[in-house]
Structure 1
Amino acid sequence: MTLGHPKLYAYPSKESLQSDLYTYVLQAQTDAFARHSKFKVAVSGGSLPAYLASPQLISSSEIQWSKWEIFFADERAVPLDHPDSNYGLFKKELLDKIPSENGQPTVVPIDVQYLNDTQELADAYEQALVRSFAAKDSVKLPIFDLILLGCGPDGHCCSLFPGHPLLREDVAWVAPIEDSPKPPAKRVTLSLSVVTHAVKIAFVTTGEGKQEVLKKIFDEHPDVQGGQVLPCALVNRAAGEKVSWFCDEAAVKGVAFPKKSSL
């Protein structure tokens, strides 16, 4: 069975990117409600929350916040109010801006009592996923309705870094990492298999600083045999047409892979 190819969108402005990203998220929500009563989403940090939190999304009457369950694709082993916390960033950029009358999502952060033991921290977060995804039956992997990710300049996503042994993890849903090449070193992350099993996966990546890594991900790494493939390219390879990339024109300048200007 062919998985098809990821979709690569290039936008002239932040506003046009945000508009299509909103439409995409709204469709993912609609599709999710056709399957079940909740919209289960995982998000990462970086610049993603600021792009996701458009006025259109925050004020939309079509977004059913009270039916959202939001998890974190990765998190740093820091208190929730720490500047490095993905939860803290997401709360500041989006959660705090949702009007109370629009309802509030269920948000599942890490359990900070385990900050000093990343394995315990990962195990506790995995159990939170089990309670949500496997409460009534046994499942091998959770299937998120939507995972929203960024792409690091080295091609990492979540806290899955190039060449790291965690890329081969195929049992744990959530794994610890204590040697992240990007500080802080101690983190937890969804495994690659959990990411690629999502119904929809979206990357938001902008800026001319991403040109070289996107060339590698789209133009070189699909054809790599044997050698090291960047984590974002591994997601593309494993999930195919389930993956959509929302980029500005600066980020994809020089990328040969076919691009679209809108959904």
Structure 2
Amino acid sequence: MGAHLMGSGAVSPISTSKGAGTGVPHQFSYPDKEVQSMAVLQYANADAGAEGVTQLVLEAAASAIKERGAFTLVLSGGSLLKALAPLAATRGADWACWHVFFVDERNVLHSSPDSNFKGADEALLSKVPIPREQIHAIQEGLPVREAATEYAGQLLRLPQDVLPRNAEGLPVFDVILLGIGPDAHVASLFPNWPQTAATEGWVLPVEGSPKPPPERITFTMPVINSAREVAIVAFGGGKAEAVQRCLEVQALPGALPAQLVRPSAGSLKWVLDVASSQALRAQTWQDAKAFPRSS
């Protein structure tokens, strides 16, 4: 194209732009691989869904213990903990082989009502004979950055017969149970936050969380996606909008963090009840013109 004149009569300078996409890259991108195994499981109500979660966990535990003599379970907090009641009532599990971790945690004392450890202890851990040294909790009283580093250190020190590593050197947990927030955040990975976009590291600090308390630690998305099995558990009508948006709307990457949960070599299950899945239109999922939805 020819040059043009500016208002002063001078010839406009030649652009030095190298075109779109050649400057600072966007922190998020669409995953380049589809989930190898994904299922949406719908139950009549939250109680039936909790039984489904229990069956999922117990089957994974039996398989892992038979294979290598250990089972790793990762919990989140919030409403997910209510789904652990049937698991807490289970008898006959090989609890001595279980190791329990937290996909995220608030940087508070274990006695705080905000502590995911406290919630999990009340819902499950105090009711089953898992050895206390095999319940891996955040260290109390540290600045949040040090707490994240210390928790990553706990994971790194575990032998590979307990916590295997994949070809990329990432830990491979047997089961990660995730809740989902109304903004579709999982763990403490919030929409469009740099921690959600992180491609390196195992555990990161979160400061200034949009949900109180402000200081947290969280697994990274690559660690979550290295698990053998990930279950996103959502019960009740209050989860319906987040569930529908994640499963049916193609959002900009990073806008709905739960959409970035895509196990690279494992399976993903959405565990729902009728109330949380009420906005889905599963009958359109095979129609290329109707799916994905725009709203």
Cα displacement (A) at 1:19: 1.9
Q: 1:80 to 1:42 in 2, by over 3 A?
A: same
> 2-side partners of 1:71 and 1:228: how far apart?
25
Deviations 1:161-216 (A, max 9, x none): 01001112122100000021011110000000000100000111111111111111
208, 219, 227: which one pairs with 1:190? 219
Aligned amino acid, residue 157 of structure 2: R
Equivalences for residues 106-125 of structure 1 within 5 A: 106-114=134-142, 117-125=143-151
Partner residue in 2 for 1:44: 76
> 1-side partners of 2:175 and 2:258: how far apart?
16
What is the percentage of aligned positions where both structures have the same residue? 32
Cα displacement (A) at 1:69: 0.5
Cα displacement (A) at 1:157: 0.5
Secondary structure at 2:100 match in 1:
strand
Aligned amino acid, residue 126 of structure 1: A
Gaps of 5+ in 1: none
Equivalences for residues 91-170 of structure 1 within 5 A: 91-98=121-128, 100=129, 104=131, 106-114=134-142, 117-133=143-159, 140-170=169-199
Residue 76 (structure 1) aligned with residue 106 (structure 2): yes
Normalised by the length of structure 2, the TM-score is 0.77
CA contact (8 A) 1:214 1:252 kept: yes
> 2-side partners of 1:251 and 1:240: how far apart?
27
Aligned amino acid, residue 233 of structure 1: Q
Structure 1 or 2, whichever has the larger Rg, is 2
Secondary structure at 2:171 match in 1:
coil
Q: Which runs of 4+ in 1 moved over 6 A?
A: 135-139
CA contact (8 A) 2:254 2:260 kept: no
Aligned amino acid, residue 175 of structure 2: L
CA contact (8 A) 1:8 1:258 kept: no
Cα displacement (A) at 1:258: 6.6
Secondary structure at 1:53 match in 2:
helix
Residue 61 (structure 1) aligned with residue 87 (structure 2): no
227, 235, 250: which one pairs with 2:275? 250
> Which structure features the higher share of helix residues?
1
RCO comparison, higher one (Cα < 8 Å, 6+): 1
Q: 1:94 to 1:137 in 2, by over 3 A?
A: closer
Gaps of 5+ in 2: 1-32, 285-295
Aligned-pair Cα RMSD in Å: 2.4
Normalised by the length of structure 1, the TM-score is 0.86
Aligned amino acid, residue 276 of structure 2: A
Cα displacement (A) at 1:48: 1.2
